A and B are shown apart, each in its own frame.
Chain A
Amino acid sequence: MADPSEFELLGRVTIGQYMPTGSVLHRLDPRAKLCMAAALVATVVVSQSLLGLTVLLLAVLAALALAHIPLRFALAGLRPMVPFLLLLALLQVLAIPQYSANARVLWRWAVLTVSDRSLIAGVLLILRFCVLVLSLSLFSFSTTTTELTHGIEHLLRPLQAIRLPAHEFALVVNIAIRFLPILAGEAERLMKAQASRGADFGRGQRNFIQRARMLLPLLVPLFLVSLQRADELAEAMEARCYLGGKGRSHLIQLQARLRDYVALSIMLILAILSIHLNAIQADQVLWTWLAKNLSHLL
Protein backbone atom coordinates (compact mmCIF):
# COMPACT_ATOMS: atom_id res chain seq x y z
CA MET A 1 0.00 0.00 0.00
CA ALA A 2 1.53 3.26 -1.09
CA ASP A 3 1.83 6.09 1.33
CA PRO A 4 -0.49 8.88 0.10
CA SER A 5 2.16 11.49 0.76
CA GLU A 6 4.19 9.82 -1.96
CA PHE A 7 2.15 11.82 -4.45
CA GLU A 8 2.52 15.16 -2.67
CA LEU A 9 5.22 16.54 -4.88
CA LEU A 10 5.65 20.14 -3.84
CA GLY A 11 5.16 19.75 -0.11
CA ARG A 12 8.83 20.22 0.61
CA VAL A 13 9.36 23.35 -1.42
CA THR A 14 10.32 26.25 0.75
CA ILE A 15 11.39 28.57 -2.04
CA GLY A 16 8.98 31.41 -2.57
CA GLN A 17 7.81 31.06 1.01
CA TYR A 18 6.61 34.53 1.83
CA MET A 19 6.16 35.72 5.40
CA PRO A 20 3.92 38.77 5.44
CA THR A 21 5.12 40.68 8.48
CA GLY A 22 4.74 44.05 6.77
CA SER A 23 8.12 45.28 7.94
CA VAL A 24 10.09 48.04 6.30
CA LEU A 25 12.14 45.39 4.44
CA HIS A 26 8.96 43.93 2.96
CA ARG A 27 7.96 47.36 1.71
CA LEU A 28 11.27 48.04 -0.02
CA ASP A 29 11.25 48.30 -3.79
CA PRO A 30 11.93 44.80 -5.24
CA ARG A 31 14.50 46.34 -7.57
CA ALA A 32 16.46 47.63 -4.61
CA LYS A 33 16.21 44.23 -2.92
CA LEU A 34 17.39 42.41 -6.06
CA CYS A 35 20.38 44.74 -6.37
CA MET A 36 21.21 44.25 -2.71
CA ALA A 37 20.95 40.46 -2.97
CA ALA A 38 23.19 40.40 -6.05
CA ALA A 39 25.74 42.70 -4.39
CA LEU A 40 25.72 40.59 -1.25
CA VAL A 41 26.18 37.28 -3.08
CA ALA A 42 29.02 38.76 -5.15
CA THR A 43 30.75 40.18 -2.07
CA VAL A 44 30.43 36.91 -0.16
CA VAL A 45 31.89 34.93 -3.05
CA VAL A 46 34.79 37.33 -3.56
CA SER A 47 35.68 37.96 0.07
CA GLN A 48 38.58 35.99 1.53
CA SER A 49 38.58 37.76 4.87
CA LEU A 50 37.15 36.35 8.09
CA LEU A 51 36.50 39.84 9.44
CA GLY A 52 34.78 40.95 6.23
CA LEU A 53 32.45 37.94 6.27
CA THR A 54 31.71 38.41 9.97
CA VAL A 55 30.63 41.99 9.24
CA LEU A 56 28.26 40.71 6.55
CA LEU A 57 26.90 37.97 8.84
CA LEU A 58 26.12 40.52 11.56
CA ALA A 59 24.45 42.77 8.97
CA VAL A 60 22.22 39.92 7.74
CA LEU A 61 21.26 39.00 11.31
CA ALA A 62 20.35 42.64 11.95
CA ALA A 63 18.27 42.70 8.75
CA LEU A 64 16.42 39.52 9.85
CA ALA A 65 15.54 41.23 13.12
CA LEU A 66 14.41 44.32 11.23
CA ALA A 67 12.14 42.16 9.03
CA HIS A 68 10.51 40.61 12.15
CA ILE A 69 11.43 37.13 10.93
CA PRO A 70 12.07 34.72 13.83
CA LEU A 71 15.61 33.42 13.69
CA ARG A 72 14.50 29.81 14.03
CA PHE A 73 12.60 30.05 10.70
CA ALA A 74 15.66 31.40 8.99
CA LEU A 75 17.84 28.74 10.58
CA ALA A 76 15.44 25.87 9.83
CA GLY A 77 17.03 25.32 6.43
CA LEU A 78 20.49 25.38 7.94
CA ARG A 79 20.00 22.78 10.66
CA PRO A 80 20.04 19.54 8.61
CA MET A 81 23.19 20.81 6.90
CA VAL A 82 25.33 21.14 10.01
CA PRO A 83 26.93 17.64 9.91
CA PHE A 84 27.65 17.90 6.18
CA LEU A 85 29.02 21.37 6.63
CA LEU A 86 31.42 20.24 9.34
CA LEU A 87 32.48 17.29 7.21
CA LEU A 88 33.14 19.55 4.25
CA ALA A 89 35.05 22.02 6.37
CA LEU A 90 37.14 19.11 7.64
CA LEU A 91 37.78 17.99 4.06
CA GLN A 92 38.75 21.53 3.15
CA VAL A 93 41.14 21.69 6.10
CA LEU A 94 42.76 18.28 5.62
CA ALA A 95 42.67 17.38 1.98
CA ILE A 96 42.92 20.52 -0.10
CA PRO A 97 46.43 21.89 -0.32
CA GLN A 98 46.50 25.66 0.11
CA TYR A 99 49.29 26.81 -2.16
CA SER A 100 50.81 29.55 -0.12
CA ALA A 101 54.43 30.33 0.60
CA ASN A 102 53.93 31.64 4.12
CA ALA A 103 51.56 28.95 5.39
CA ARG A 104 52.55 27.78 8.83
CA VAL A 105 52.18 24.04 9.44
CA LEU A 106 50.40 23.46 12.73
CA TRP A 107 49.96 19.71 12.70
CA ARG A 108 51.16 16.90 10.49
CA TRP A 109 50.37 13.18 10.46
CA ALA A 110 51.26 10.93 7.51
CA VAL A 111 49.77 12.59 4.43
CA LEU A 112 47.50 14.89 6.45
CA THR A 113 48.73 18.39 7.09
CA VAL A 114 46.95 21.22 8.85
CA SER A 115 48.35 24.67 8.25
CA ASP A 116 46.94 27.96 9.50
CA ARG A 117 45.90 28.67 5.91
CA SER A 118 43.81 25.53 5.53
CA LEU A 119 42.22 26.11 8.94
CA ILE A 120 41.16 29.58 7.83
CA ALA A 121 39.85 28.14 4.54
CA GLY A 122 37.61 25.75 6.52
CA VAL A 123 36.18 28.51 8.70
CA LEU A 124 35.67 30.71 5.63
CA LEU A 125 33.63 27.92 3.99
CA ILE A 126 31.26 27.73 6.97
CA LEU A 127 30.93 31.50 7.34
CA ARG A 128 30.29 32.00 3.65
CA PHE A 129 27.59 29.34 3.58
CA CYS A 130 25.81 30.81 6.63
CA VAL A 131 25.75 34.33 5.17
CA LEU A 132 24.40 33.08 1.83
CA VAL A 133 21.70 30.87 3.38
CA LEU A 134 20.47 33.55 5.73
CA SER A 135 20.47 36.35 3.17
CA LEU A 136 18.70 34.39 0.43
CA SER A 137 16.11 33.10 2.93
CA LEU A 138 15.56 36.68 4.03
CA PHE A 139 15.05 37.68 0.41
CA SER A 140 12.44 35.00 -0.26
CA PHE A 141 10.70 35.59 3.09
CA SER A 142 10.26 39.29 2.31
CA THR A 143 9.56 39.32 -1.46
CA THR A 144 6.55 37.89 -3.30
CA THR A 145 7.10 36.17 -6.66
CA THR A 146 5.06 38.91 -8.38
CA GLU A 147 7.35 41.57 -6.96
CA LEU A 148 10.32 39.46 -8.01
CA THR A 149 9.32 39.19 -11.68
CA HIS A 150 8.39 42.90 -11.78
CA GLY A 151 11.75 43.75 -10.29
CA ILE A 152 13.63 41.57 -12.79
CA GLU A 153 11.84 43.13 -15.73
CA HIS A 154 12.45 46.69 -14.55
CA LEU A 155 16.09 46.04 -13.75
CA LEU A 156 16.78 44.43 -17.11
CA ARG A 157 15.04 47.21 -19.04
CA PRO A 158 18.22 49.22 -19.72
CA LEU A 159 19.64 46.13 -21.44
CA GLN A 160 17.02 46.51 -24.17
CA ALA A 161 19.10 49.43 -25.46
CA ILE A 162 21.73 46.87 -26.54
CA ARG A 163 18.98 44.61 -27.95
CA LEU A 164 18.93 42.07 -25.13
CA PRO A 165 15.42 40.65 -24.66
CA ALA A 166 14.76 41.89 -21.10
CA HIS A 167 10.97 41.86 -21.26
CA GLU A 168 10.97 38.44 -22.86
CA PHE A 169 13.23 36.99 -20.20
CA ALA A 170 11.09 38.40 -17.39
CA LEU A 171 8.07 36.81 -19.06
CA VAL A 172 9.91 33.46 -19.24
CA VAL A 173 10.57 33.61 -15.49
CA ASN A 174 6.97 34.60 -14.85
CA ILE A 175 5.59 31.71 -16.92
CA ALA A 176 7.96 29.28 -15.20
CA ILE A 177 6.82 30.35 -11.73
CA ARG A 178 3.10 30.38 -12.65
CA PHE A 179 3.42 27.03 -14.37
CA LEU A 180 4.92 25.24 -11.40
CA PRO A 181 1.66 24.39 -9.53
CA ILE A 182 0.02 23.26 -12.79
CA LEU A 183 2.98 21.02 -13.48
CA ALA A 184 2.86 19.55 -9.98
CA GLY A 185 -0.84 18.75 -10.41
CA GLU A 186 -0.15 17.19 -13.79
CA ALA A 187 2.69 15.05 -12.43
CA GLU A 188 0.55 13.92 -9.52
CA ARG A 189 -2.19 12.85 -11.93
CA LEU A 190 0.33 10.97 -14.08
CA MET A 191 1.90 9.22 -11.10
CA LYS A 192 -1.48 8.09 -9.81
CA ALA A 193 -2.45 6.88 -13.28
CA GLN A 194 0.77 4.89 -13.60
CA ALA A 195 0.53 3.60 -10.02
CA SER A 196 -3.01 2.35 -10.66
CA ARG A 197 -1.53 0.34 -13.55
CA GLY A 198 1.00 -1.23 -11.23
CA ALA A 199 3.95 1.17 -11.41
CA ASP A 200 5.90 1.52 -8.18
CA PHE A 201 7.41 4.90 -7.43
CA GLY A 202 8.53 3.87 -3.95
CA ARG A 203 12.05 4.41 -2.79
CA GLY A 204 13.05 0.75 -2.95
CA GLN A 205 16.54 -0.61 -3.54
CA ARG A 206 17.10 -0.62 -7.25
CA ASN A 207 20.01 0.02 -9.49
CA PHE A 208 20.06 3.23 -11.41
CA ILE A 209 19.07 1.79 -14.78
CA GLN A 210 15.88 0.38 -13.24
CA ARG A 211 15.15 3.68 -11.53
CA ALA A 212 15.77 5.64 -14.71
CA ARG A 213 13.51 3.29 -16.66
CA MET A 214 10.88 3.66 -13.96
CA LEU A 215 10.95 7.42 -14.44
CA LEU A 216 10.45 7.29 -18.21
CA PRO A 217 6.67 6.55 -18.17
CA LEU A 218 6.32 9.59 -15.92
CA LEU A 219 8.76 11.98 -17.55
CA VAL A 220 7.87 11.49 -21.21
CA PRO A 221 4.14 12.25 -20.77
CA LEU A 222 5.04 15.12 -18.43
CA PHE A 223 7.24 16.73 -21.07
CA LEU A 224 4.70 16.09 -23.83
CA VAL A 225 1.75 17.47 -21.87
CA SER A 226 3.80 20.53 -20.96
CA LEU A 227 4.87 21.15 -24.54
CA GLN A 228 1.25 20.78 -25.61
CA ARG A 229 0.22 23.36 -23.01
CA ALA A 230 3.02 25.64 -24.16
CA ASP A 231 1.63 25.46 -27.69
CA GLU A 232 -1.84 26.35 -26.45
CA LEU A 233 -0.54 29.21 -24.31
CA ALA A 234 1.45 30.65 -27.22
CA GLU A 235 -1.61 30.44 -29.45
CA ALA A 236 -3.78 32.12 -26.81
CA MET A 237 -1.24 34.93 -26.44
CA GLU A 238 -1.11 35.44 -30.19
CA ALA A 239 -4.90 35.48 -30.36
CA ARG A 240 -4.84 38.31 -27.81
CA CYS A 241 -2.37 40.23 -29.95
CA TYR A 242 0.69 39.78 -27.77
CA LEU A 243 3.48 41.58 -29.54
CA GLY A 244 6.33 41.52 -27.08
CA GLY A 245 7.56 44.19 -24.72
CA LYS A 246 7.35 47.22 -27.01
CA GLY A 247 5.01 49.89 -25.64
CA ARG A 248 3.54 47.68 -22.94
CA SER A 249 2.31 49.38 -19.79
CA HIS A 250 1.98 47.89 -16.31
CA LEU A 251 -0.74 47.80 -13.70
CA ILE A 252 1.78 48.33 -10.92
CA GLN A 253 4.30 51.11 -11.39
CA LEU A 254 7.35 50.69 -9.24
CA GLN A 255 8.60 53.85 -7.60
CA ALA A 256 11.87 54.15 -5.74
CA ARG A 257 11.59 56.04 -2.45
CA LEU A 258 14.10 57.48 -0.07
CA ARG A 259 14.19 54.27 1.99
CA ASP A 260 15.23 52.29 -1.10
CA TYR A 261 18.19 54.60 -1.69
CA VAL A 262 19.09 54.44 2.00
CA ALA A 263 18.99 50.61 1.94
CA LEU A 264 21.09 50.48 -1.22
CA SER A 265 23.66 52.85 0.27
CA ILE A 266 23.92 50.73 3.41
CA MET A 267 24.48 47.61 1.28
CA LEU A 268 27.10 49.42 -0.80
CA ILE A 269 28.94 50.59 2.32
CA LEU A 270 28.89 47.05 3.75
CA ALA A 271 30.20 45.58 0.49
CA ILE A 272 32.99 48.16 0.26
CA LEU A 273 33.87 47.66 3.93
CA SER A 274 34.01 43.89 3.51
CA ILE A 275 36.17 44.05 0.39
CA HIS A 276 38.35 46.74 1.97
CA LEU A 277 38.96 44.52 5.01
CA ASN A 278 39.95 41.85 2.50
CA ALA A 279 42.29 44.19 0.63
CA ILE A 280 44.14 45.59 3.65
CA GLN A 281 44.50 42.04 5.03
CA ALA A 282 42.81 42.99 8.28
CA ASP A 283 42.87 39.34 9.32
CA GLN A 284 46.68 39.30 9.49
CA VAL A 285 46.65 42.45 11.59
CA LEU A 286 44.12 40.84 13.91
CA TRP A 287 46.18 37.62 14.17
CA THR A 288 49.35 39.46 15.05
CA TRP A 289 47.47 41.56 17.61
CA LEU A 290 45.89 38.45 19.14
CA ALA A 291 49.18 36.56 19.17
CA LYS A 292 50.92 39.45 20.89
CA ASN A 293 48.24 39.90 23.55
CA LEU A 294 47.72 36.22 24.20
CA SER A 295 51.42 35.61 24.63
CA HIS A 296 51.39 38.57 26.98
CA LEU A 297 48.64 36.90 29.02
CA LEU A 298 50.44 33.61 29.10
Chain B
Amino acid sequence: MSSTTRRIVVAGVLGAISIFLGASHLGFIPWLAGAALTIMHVPVIIGAVLEGPWVGLAIGLIFGAFSLLQAAIAPTGPTDVWFTNPLVSILPRLFIGPVAWLVYKALQRANEVAALATAGVAGSLTNTVLVLGALGLLRFLPWALIGTIAVTNGLPEAVVAAIITVAVVAAWKRIETGRKGSTV
Protein backbone atom coordinates (compact mmCIF):
# COMPACT_ATOMS: atom_id res chain seq x y z
CA MET B 1 0.00 0.00 0.00
CA SER B 2 1.31 3.42 -0.90
CA SER B 3 2.47 5.04 2.27
CA THR B 4 1.44 8.55 1.16
CA THR B 5 -2.26 7.71 0.87
CA ARG B 6 -2.10 5.93 4.19
CA ARG B 7 -0.43 8.86 5.89
CA ILE B 8 -3.01 11.30 4.53
CA VAL B 9 -5.89 9.16 5.72
CA VAL B 10 -4.45 8.41 9.16
CA ALA B 11 -3.69 12.11 9.71
CA GLY B 12 -7.26 12.99 8.73
CA VAL B 13 -8.85 10.38 10.94
CA LEU B 14 -6.71 11.12 14.00
CA GLY B 15 -7.25 14.83 13.44
CA ALA B 16 -10.96 14.08 13.56
CA ILE B 17 -10.51 12.24 16.88
CA SER B 18 -8.72 15.25 18.33
CA ILE B 19 -11.54 17.57 17.21
CA PHE B 20 -14.10 15.11 18.49
CA LEU B 21 -12.50 14.81 21.94
CA GLY B 22 -12.59 18.58 22.25
CA ALA B 23 -16.04 19.13 20.79
CA SER B 24 -17.76 16.40 22.83
CA HIS B 25 -15.88 17.34 26.04
CA LEU B 26 -14.85 13.70 26.41
CA GLY B 27 -11.27 14.88 26.12
CA PHE B 28 -11.41 16.91 29.31
CA ILE B 29 -10.96 15.31 32.70
CA PRO B 30 -12.13 17.58 35.53
CA TRP B 31 -9.27 18.32 37.89
CA LEU B 32 -8.47 20.65 40.75
CA ALA B 33 -10.69 23.72 41.12
CA GLY B 34 -12.26 23.81 37.70
CA ALA B 35 -9.04 23.39 35.76
CA ALA B 36 -9.33 20.46 33.37
CA LEU B 37 -6.76 17.97 32.17
CA THR B 38 -6.89 17.52 28.43
CA ILE B 39 -6.14 14.48 26.30
CA MET B 40 -6.80 16.24 22.99
CA HIS B 41 -3.11 16.05 22.15
CA VAL B 42 -2.98 12.26 22.45
CA PRO B 43 -4.06 11.66 18.80
CA VAL B 44 -1.11 13.83 17.75
CA ILE B 45 1.30 11.62 19.70
CA ILE B 46 -0.27 8.40 18.41
CA GLY B 47 -0.22 9.67 14.80
CA ALA B 48 3.44 10.65 15.08
CA VAL B 49 4.41 7.31 16.60
CA LEU B 50 2.50 5.29 14.00
CA GLU B 51 3.13 7.27 10.80
CA GLY B 52 6.01 9.65 11.40
CA PRO B 53 6.69 13.32 12.15
CA TRP B 54 4.80 14.81 9.19
CA VAL B 55 1.57 13.14 10.21
CA GLY B 56 2.18 14.36 13.77
CA LEU B 57 2.72 17.88 12.45
CA ALA B 58 -0.50 17.80 10.39
CA ILE B 59 -2.60 16.51 13.30
CA GLY B 60 -0.97 19.08 15.59
CA LEU B 61 -1.95 21.82 13.15
CA ILE B 62 -5.56 20.56 13.05
CA PHE B 63 -5.63 20.31 16.87
CA GLY B 64 -4.23 23.84 17.20
CA ALA B 65 -6.54 25.38 14.62
CA PHE B 66 -9.51 23.71 16.24
CA SER B 67 -8.61 24.87 19.72
CA LEU B 68 -8.32 28.43 18.35
CA LEU B 69 -11.73 28.15 16.68
CA GLN B 70 -13.33 26.56 19.71
CA ALA B 71 -11.91 29.17 22.06
CA ALA B 72 -13.27 31.89 19.83
CA ILE B 73 -16.64 30.45 18.78
CA ALA B 74 -17.74 28.19 21.62
CA PRO B 75 -15.64 29.03 24.68
CA THR B 76 -16.02 26.69 27.63
CA GLY B 77 -13.76 28.08 30.32
CA PRO B 78 -11.75 31.03 31.53
CA THR B 79 -8.56 29.96 29.80
CA ASP B 80 -10.21 30.08 26.36
CA VAL B 81 -9.58 33.81 26.24
CA TRP B 82 -5.84 33.19 25.87
CA PHE B 83 -6.29 30.48 23.29
CA THR B 84 -7.75 32.91 20.77
CA ASN B 85 -4.14 33.91 20.21
CA PRO B 86 -2.57 31.63 17.57
CA LEU B 87 0.84 31.97 19.24
CA VAL B 88 -0.65 30.07 22.20
CA SER B 89 -3.09 27.74 20.45
CA ILE B 90 -1.39 26.77 17.17
CA LEU B 91 2.38 27.28 17.22
CA PRO B 92 3.22 25.13 20.30
CA ARG B 93 1.07 22.25 19.05
CA LEU B 94 3.14 21.86 15.88
CA PHE B 95 6.05 20.51 17.95
CA ILE B 96 4.16 17.76 19.85
CA GLY B 97 4.27 15.24 17.00
CA PRO B 98 7.89 15.67 15.91
CA VAL B 99 9.16 15.52 19.52
CA ALA B 100 7.11 12.40 20.31
CA TRP B 101 8.38 10.75 17.11
CA LEU B 102 12.03 11.57 17.84
CA VAL B 103 11.79 10.16 21.36
CA TYR B 104 10.00 7.04 20.11
CA LYS B 105 12.57 6.41 17.37
CA ALA B 106 15.45 6.94 19.77
CA LEU B 107 14.16 4.39 22.29
CA GLN B 108 12.34 1.92 20.03
CA ARG B 109 15.30 -0.47 19.76
CA ALA B 110 15.69 -0.75 23.53
CA ASN B 111 12.11 -1.46 24.55
CA GLU B 112 8.96 -0.90 22.50
CA VAL B 113 6.57 -0.31 25.42
CA ALA B 114 8.99 1.96 27.29
CA ALA B 115 9.56 3.91 24.07
CA LEU B 116 5.80 4.39 23.63
CA ALA B 117 5.32 5.54 27.21
CA THR B 118 8.26 7.95 27.01
CA ALA B 119 7.00 9.32 23.69
CA GLY B 120 3.61 9.93 25.32
CA VAL B 121 5.23 11.75 28.24
CA ALA B 122 7.57 13.74 25.98
CA GLY B 123 4.80 14.78 23.57
CA SER B 124 2.53 15.79 26.41
CA LEU B 125 5.24 17.78 28.19
CA THR B 126 6.11 19.51 24.91
CA ASN B 127 2.52 20.72 24.80
CA THR B 128 2.55 21.85 28.44
CA VAL B 129 5.91 23.60 28.35
CA LEU B 130 5.43 25.39 25.04
CA VAL B 131 1.84 26.51 25.67
CA LEU B 132 2.65 27.76 29.18
CA GLY B 133 5.88 29.28 27.87
CA ALA B 134 3.89 31.20 25.27
CA LEU B 135 1.47 32.37 27.99
CA GLY B 136 4.41 33.56 30.05
CA LEU B 137 6.19 35.30 27.18
CA LEU B 138 2.99 37.09 26.20
CA ARG B 139 2.64 38.11 29.88
CA PHE B 140 -0.82 36.60 30.29
CA LEU B 141 0.30 34.84 33.47
CA PRO B 142 3.05 35.46 36.03
CA TRP B 143 5.87 32.93 35.82
CA ALA B 144 5.35 31.72 39.41
CA LEU B 145 1.81 30.61 38.61
CA ILE B 146 2.99 28.99 35.40
CA GLY B 147 5.39 26.79 37.37
CA THR B 148 2.52 25.62 39.57
CA ILE B 149 0.28 24.86 36.60
CA ALA B 150 3.09 22.96 34.89
CA VAL B 151 3.30 20.66 37.91
CA THR B 152 -0.40 20.30 38.79
CA ASN B 153 -1.69 19.99 35.22
CA GLY B 154 1.31 19.03 33.10
CA LEU B 155 2.42 15.99 35.07
CA PRO B 156 -0.98 14.22 35.36
CA GLU B 157 -1.60 14.99 31.68
CA ALA B 158 1.71 13.39 30.78
CA VAL B 159 0.83 10.28 32.80
CA VAL B 160 -2.61 9.95 31.17
CA ALA B 161 -1.14 10.55 27.71
CA ALA B 162 1.46 7.84 28.27
CA ILE B 163 -1.18 5.34 29.43
CA ILE B 164 -3.45 5.93 26.43
CA THR B 165 -0.59 5.95 23.92
CA VAL B 166 0.71 2.61 25.17
CA ALA B 167 -2.77 1.06 25.32
CA VAL B 168 -3.77 2.13 21.79
CA VAL B 169 -0.51 1.57 19.93
CA ALA B 170 0.21 -1.78 21.56
CA ALA B 171 -3.30 -3.01 20.78
CA TRP B 172 -3.14 -1.69 17.20
CA LYS B 173 0.21 -3.28 16.41
CA ARG B 174 -0.88 -6.61 17.84
CA ILE B 175 -4.03 -6.54 15.73
CA GLU B 176 -2.02 -5.68 12.67
CA THR B 177 0.46 -8.49 13.14
CA GLY B 178 -2.30 -10.92 14.12
CA ARG B 179 -4.64 -10.32 11.19
CA LYS B 180 -2.29 -9.67 8.34
CA GLY B 181 0.58 -11.86 9.38
CA SER B 182 3.10 -9.09 8.81
CA THR B 183 5.45 -7.50 11.25
CA VAL B 184 5.56 -3.77 11.66
- Residues of A that sit less than 8 Å from B by CB: 9-10, 12-15, 41, 45, 77-78, 80-81, 84-85, 87-88, 92, 95-98, 125, 128-129, 132-133, 136-137, 140, 165, 168-169, 171-177, 179-180, 183-184, 187, 203, 208, 211-212, 215-216, 218-220, 222-224, 226-227, 229-231, 233-235, 237-238, 242, 244
Contacts and interface: CB of A to CB of B under 8 A. Distances in A.
B5 A10 contact: no
A125 B19 CA distance: 26
A223 B62 CA distance: 17
B69 A168 contact: no
Contacts of B46: 223
A132 B72 contact: yes
Contact of A136 (B11, B72, B139): B72
A64 B4 CA distance: 41
Interface stretch (B23-31, B97-105, B119-127): B23-31
A61 B50 CA distance: 45
- The residue in A85, A137, A227 that gathers the most chain B C-beta atoms within 10 A of its C-beta is A227
Interface string B28-64: 0111000001010001001000100010001001100
Contacts of A97: 142
A94 B23 CA distance: 33
A45 B86 contact: yes
B16 A183 contact: yes
B13 A226 contact: yes
- The residue in B1, B15, B16 that gathers the most chain A C-beta atoms within 10 A of its C-beta is B16
Given A180-B20, A208-B31, A235 B1 contact: yes
Ranked 3 nearest A-B pairs via Cβ: A175-B12, A84-B78, A176-B15
A212 B163 contact: yes
Given A13-B24, A230-B6, A244-B5, 13 more contacts: A9-B23, A133-B72, A137-B73, A172-B8, A176-B16, A176-B19, A177-B16, A208-B160, A218-B26, A220-B164, A223-B168, A230-B9, A238-B5
B2 A215 contact: no
B74 A13 contact: yes
Interface string B73-110: 11101101100111100000000000000000000000
A30 to B, nearest CB: 15
A233 to B, nearest CB: 5
Contacts of B29: 208, 211-212, 215
A135 B17 CA distance: 26
A252 B63 CA distance: 28
B81 A129 contact: yes
Given A216-B163, A227-B10, A172 B84 contact: no
B137 interface: no
Contacts of B24: 9-10, 12-13, 184, 187
B171 interface: yes
A183 B20 contact: yes
A172 B15 contact: yes
Contacts of A84: 75, 77-78, 80-81
A103 B97 CA distance: 42
A172 B62 contact: yes
Given A13-B74, A172-B62, A226 B14 contact: yes
B61 to A, nearest CB: 8
